[in-house]
Structure 1
Amino acid sequence: MAEIVQQRMENRIPELEQLEKVGLFSKKEVKSLLKLATALEYKLHRLIITKVYFIAYIQYEINVLELIKKRRSRIGYQFKREEIKFSIISRINNIFRRATTKWKDDVQLWLSHIAFCKKWNTKGAISKVFSSMLRNQVDLSSLYYALWIMAAKSELEDRNSSESARHLFLRALLFHPESKKVYQELLHAEKLRKQQKELEQAEIDVVSTHTHTHTHTFLRYEFSPEIVSGKLAEVVYRDATGKIQGADFILSLLTIAAIFDFTKDLQDTIIQDLQSKYTYDSLTWDFMARRELEATVGEELQTAKGRASDIARREERCCQVYDDGWSLCCVPEAMWACYVSFCLERFKRKTDIRELKETRQERLLAVLQRAHDSSLLKEDFYKNWLQVLLSSGDSEQTAVVAMADTQRYRQSVDVWCLALQTMVRLGSGATGKLFQDALTHVNPKVHTHTMGCCEKTSSNMTGRRGLLSVVPAVSMEIKEKYLDWSYRAGGYKKARKTFTSLHESRPFSKAFFNRMIQMEKDQVSRVTMYGETRTNQNQMYL
C-alpha cells in the first residue's frame, strides 16, 4: 500500500515543481499540497473504504484546479497551461473511475463524473463514462431509460455524432421496448439527422460551386436515400405506434414532427392514423378542434374588428367540432373537460374588442351549464364558473350554482368550503343553513376550513355552532379561532367576555389559555403606556 501511494505522489512532483517555478504556488504551498494529497491517498487504501473518502479527494483536486485557473487569470501567465491542466483532470478522472468501479450502482456518482467532464470540456471522456455506466447498470426499471437518453443526446449535442446517438437509442429500445420517451427522442433525433445531412449537402454544393467555377466540376458526397428522404423517421413512427397505443402518444410524436418544416408527409400520416384509430378518444377531438384556430385566412385583415370577427368564426368552428365529437367519444366526461378547458382558455385571452369578450363569456357559461345539466362537469370547473359569475355581477345565478355544486359533490370538503365562501361574499342569509347541511355530509373538520371565510358575518354563527362539535380536536381549535375573531372584531373587552363564557367549557386547550394570557399582557402594556403618556401630558400642562 505504501509503495503505491509513494509512487503516485512521486508522479505529482514534476507537476508541483512546474507550478512553483512559474510562481503560481510558493514552496510552502507546494509542500502543503503534497502533504494533504498523501493523506487523502492513504485513506483510499484502508481496509474499510467509504465514498466519503473518494468524494473528499475529488473535491480537493477540483479545488486545486480552480485555484490554478484563478491565479493564472490574475497574473496572466499561461505557460504550460494545458499540460498541467490535463494532468490534474486525468488524475480526477482516474479517482472517479476507482470510485465507480467499487460502487457501480451509484447513479449519482456516475452523473457527477459526467458533470465534471462537461464542465472541463473533456468530451472524449464523456462517451467512455456513459458507456461504462450503461454497461454496469443492470436495473431495467422504467427510471433508467433516462440514462440512455442522456447518453444519446450527449453524442448528438456534445460530439455532433448523430450515428452514435441513433445506435444508443436503438439499444435503449432493446431494454425498454415500451418507453414512450425513448421513441419520442429517437424520432426527434432522426429529424435532426435528416436536417443535418441536408445542411451538409447544401454546404458542400456551395463550396464546390465556388471552388470549381471554371471547370464546372462538383464535389458530391452520397448520403443514404433513407436519411435524405426522412424515411427512417417514418420507420421509427411505425415501430413505435405498433408497440405503444394511445392518442396521447401519437399526438406527442406529431408535436415533434411539427418542429421541422420538411415533415408534411409524416404529419399527414400521423393525423390520418389519429382519425382512423382513435375516433372515440377525447384527445383526438380536442386536437381536431384546436386545429381550426390555425386555419389560414385568404387575405390579411387590416382592422381590429375584422380580425376579431375572424377569430370569433374560428372559435365557433372549434365549438362545432367539440359538439360533433361529444356524441362519439367513449368517455363523455373527458370530452366535456376538453371542451370547457378550451372555452376557458379563450375567455382568459385578453382582447380590446368588447363584443368578442362578451361572446367568449356567453359561450363559456353556456358550455358550463350544458356540462352541469349532463352531470359531467368536473369538480375543479365549478370554481371557475363561480368566478366568472361573480365578476359578471349575477348574484342570483351565482348562488344557484354554488348550491348545485354542493348537491353534485356532497362528500367534498373543498366544494362545501367554496360554496360557503361564495355565500358569505354574496351576503346571503342562507349561510348558516348551508353550514349545517355541510356537517351532515362531510367530516366535522369543515369547521376549521370555514372559520376564516365566515369571519365577516356579524354574529359569526358558524363559529358558535362549531363550538358544539362532538369531536374534541375540532372543538378546541374552534375555541382558539373564535377567541381570535372576538379580539379582532371587538377588542379586549369582547375577547374577555368570550373567554369568560368558554373557559369552563370542556374540552380544555392549553393554547386557548395561553392566547388569553397574551391578550392580558398586551392590554396591561397598552394601559401602562397610555397612563405614562397622560401623566407626562399633565406635567407639561402644569
Structure 2
Amino acid sequence: MKSDVFSLTALWIMAAKWEMEDRLSSESARQLFLRALRFHPECPKLYQEYFRMELMHAEKLRKEKEEFEKASMDMENPDYSEEILKGELARIIYKNSVSIIKGAEFHVSLLSIAQLFDFAKDLQKEIYDDLQHLHTDDPLTWDYVARRELEIESQTEEQPTTKQAKAVEVGRKEERCCAVYEEAVKTLPTEAMWKCYITFCLERFTKKTNSGFLRGKRLERTMTAFRKAHELKLLPEFQYEQLIKSLLSHNFLKEALEVAVAGTELFRDSGTMWQMKLQVLIDSKSPDIAMQFEESFVHLKPQVCLSLWISWAEWSEGAKSQEDTEAVFKKALLAVIGADSVTLKDKYLDWAYRNGGYKKARAVFKSLQESRPFSVDFFRKMIQFEKEQIFGWIISKKN
C-alpha cells in the first residue's frame, strides 16, 4: 500500500514539475499540488516539493523583476508583489505543513530546502527558530543546531590564510559544535542523543587532515565523549565497534584497546565485541592474547565461538610453535560440535599440510575420519594432497 501511495505522489510531483518547467505555468503546477494534497493530506514529499516549487517561482519572479529594472521598463504585473517576492506563499505552505506533519526530521527537511535560496533568509530564520522551539526534545534538533556551527564563519574581519590558521579555525568551529552537544546530552540524556554526539565526533575524527594539532584535538574530543557515554551506559554496541575500527585505522592502539575493554565489559556475551578486542590485542602484540582467548570462551555461548577459535589458530600459526597451534585446533574440536566443526576440520587439515606436508595431513585426516560431520571439500583436499604426493614421487623417480 505504501509503495502504491509513493508511486501516485511521484506522478503528481512529476506532473507539477512538467507544468512548472516545460509549460512555464506556475499556477497550473500550484493547482496540481493542491489537488494532490486533497488526496494525500499527510504526505511529506508533496509538501516538500510544493514548498520548493513556490520558492523557485519566487526566485524566478525576482530575476525577472531585476531584468526589468536593468532595462528601465515599467512593471504593471501584480505577480511582483513584495510578499510573493519574499516567498510568502512558501511560508504559508511551511506553516500549514508543520501543523499537519509533526517531527523534527520533516522540519529540518524544509529548512534544508529553504537554505538553497539566498533571498529566503527571513524564512530560514523563522523555520530555524521554530525548530528549536517546537522540537527541543528531539535529538535531531540538537544535532542540526550543533552541526550548524561548522557553517558559521569567523566574526573576525580577516579570514585565516595559512594552513595552521585554517586548522585552528576549524578546531574552534568543532569546539563550538561539541559545546552544543554537551548541552544537548545534559538536556536530553538519552542513547539517541549520545549516538548523535559520538557519530559527529567519529565523522570529524575520520576526516582527513595534515594538521597534527587538529588530529590530536579530534582524538581527544572523541575519547572524552566516549568515556562519558560509556560511564552512563548510553551507547549501542555498534558504536563501540565503529570507534574501534576508526582508531585502528589510524593506528591509535592504546585508545582502541581502551574502547575494546570497555565494550567487552558492557557486552560480555557479544562475539563481535570479543573478536574486536582480540584483534586489538593482536595488533598491539600483547603477551596476554592466549589468556584473553580463553577468557572470551567463558563468557560466550559455544555456538558463537567458531570465528574466535579460527582467529586463535591463525594467530598461533604465525606467533607460536606447531605444537601450540595443534593444541588450539584440538581444543577447538572438543568445544565446537555439529555443523560448525566442519569448517574447523577443513582448516585443521589445511594447516597440517601447510606446516607438515603430506605425512602430517595424512595423520590429521586419519585422526578425524570418525568425527562426523565432514564437508565434501575435506575429502577433496585429501585426495588432492594424495595426487600431489604421487605426482612428486613420479617426478623424483624420473630424475
TM-score tier, shorter chain, comes to 0.7 to 0.9
Corresponding position: 1:150 with 2:14: yes
Matches of 2:383 and 2:173 in 1, distance apart?
66
Corresponding position: 1:351 with 2:209: yes
Matches of 2:280 and 2:296 in 1, distance apart?
14
Matches of 2:397 and 2:231 in 1, distance apart?
66
Matches of 1:295 and 1:410 in 2, distance apart?
43
- Residue 256 of structure 1 deviates from its aligned partner by 0.3
- Residue 356 of structure 1 deviates from its aligned partner by 1.8
| 2:169 alignment partner in structure 1 | 310
| 1:269 alignment partner in structure 2 | 126
Classify 1:452/1:151 alpha carbon distance in 2 versus 1 (closer, same or farther; 3 Å).
Answer: farther
- Residue 263 of structure 1 deviates from its aligned partner by 0.7
SS of equivalent residue, structure 2 residue 85: helix
The 8 Å contact of residues 264 and 274 in structure 2, kept in 1 or not, is answered as: yes
Matches of 1:150 and 1:181 in 2, distance apart?
12
Q: Map 1:170-189; keep pairs closer than 5 Å.
A: 170-189=34-53
Classify 1:157/1:511 alpha carbon distance in 2 versus 1 (closer, same or farther; 3 Å).
Answer: same
Classify 1:223/1:405 alpha carbon distance in 2 versus 1 (closer, same or farther; 3 Å).
Answer: same
Alignment partner of 2:183 out of 320, 324, 328: 324
| 1:338 alignment partner in structure 2 | 196
The letter of the residue matching 2:66 is A
- Residue 255 of structure 1 deviates from its aligned partner by 0.4
Alignment partner of 1:228 out of 85, 89, 103: 85
The 8 Å contact of residues 439 and 446 in structure 1, kept in 2 or not, is answered as: no
- Residue 219 of structure 1 deviates from its aligned partner by 5.3
| 1:241 alignment partner in structure 2 | 98
CA RMSD in angstroms, aligned pairs only: 2.8
The letter of the residue matching 1:480 is D
Alignment partner of 2:316 out of 449, 457, 460: 457
Name the % identity.
42
| 1:36 alignment partner in structure 2 | none
Matches of 1:220 and 1:500 in 2, distance apart?
99
SS of equivalent residue, structure 1 residue 141: helix
| 2:33 alignment partner in structure 1 | 169
The 8 Å contact of residues 47 and 93 in structure 2, kept in 1 or not, is answered as: yes
Alignment partner of 1:513 out of 379, 385, 398: 379
Alignment partner of 2:227 out of 356, 369, 380: 369
Matches of 1:463 and 1:151 in 2, distance apart?
66
Alignment partner of 1:403 out of 243, 247, 261: 261
The letter of the residue matching 1:145 is T
- Residue 249 of structure 1 deviates from its aligned partner by 1.0
TM-score (norm 2): 0.86
The letter of the residue matching 1:203 is E
The 8 Å contact of residues 115 and 124 in structure 2, kept in 1 or not, is answered as: yes
- Residue 240 of structure 1 deviates from its aligned partner by 0.8
Corresponding position: 1:492 with 2:358: yes
Matches of 1:195 and 1:507 in 2, distance apart?
72
The letter of the residue matching 2:117 is F
SS of equivalent residue, structure 1 residue 377: coil
Matches of 1:396 and 1:489 in 2, distance apart?
34
The 8 Å contact of residues 435 and 462 in structure 1, kept in 2 or not, is answered as: no
Classify 1:447/1:262 alpha carbon distance in 2 versus 1 (closer, same or farther; 3 Å).
Answer: same
- Deviations along 1:156-203, one digit per CA (max 9) or x if unpaired, are 334333322222222221222211111111111111111112223333
The 8 Å contact of residues 206 and 246 in structure 2, kept in 1 or not, is answered as: no
- Residue 294 of structure 1 deviates from its aligned partner by 2.0
- Deviations along 1:272-325, one digit per CA (max 9) or x if unpaired, are 111111112211111211222222222212322222222222221211111111
The 8 Å contact of residues 326 and 336 in structure 1, kept in 2 or not, is answered as: yes
**Structure 1 portions without partners, runs of 5+:** 1-136, 210-216, 536-542
The 8 Å contact of residues 306 and 336 in structure 2, kept in 1 or not, is answered as: no
The 8 Å contact of residues 411 and 442 in structure 1, kept in 2 or not, is answered as: yes
SS of equivalent residue, structure 1 residue 251: helix
Matches of 1:181 and 1:462 in 2, distance apart?
58
Matches of 1:490 and 1:384 in 2, distance apart?
39
Matches of 1:423 and 1:462 in 2, distance apart?
18
| 2:152 alignment partner in structure 1 | 295
The 8 Å contact of residues 148 and 168 in structure 1, kept in 2 or not, is answered as: yes
- Deviations along 1:203-224, one digit per CA (max 9) or x if unpaired, are 34445x3xxxxxxx63542216
SS of equivalent residue, structure 1 residue 273: helix
- Residue 244 of structure 1 deviates from its aligned partner by 0.8
- Deviations along 1:454-476, one digit per CA (max 9) or x if unpaired, are 31213345543331246411122
Report which of the two structures shows the higher radius of gyration computed on alpha carbons: 1
The 8 Å contact of residues 86 and 120 in structure 2, kept in 1 or not, is answered as: no
**Equivalences, count:** 388
The 8 Å contact of residues 424 and 457 in structure 1, kept in 2 or not, is answered as: no
| 2:320 alignment partner in structure 1 | none
The letter of the residue matching 1:492 is Y
The letter of the residue matching 2:39 is F
| 1:413 alignment partner in structure 2 | 271
| 1:423 alignment partner in structure 2 | 281
- Residue 429 of structure 1 deviates from its aligned partner by 5.2
The letter of the residue matching 1:308 is A
| 1:160 alignment partner in structure 2 | 24
Q: Map 1:132-147; keep pairs closer than 5 Å.
A: 141-147=5-11
Classify 1:401/1:309 alpha carbon distance in 2 versus 1 (closer, same or farther; 3 Å).
Answer: closer
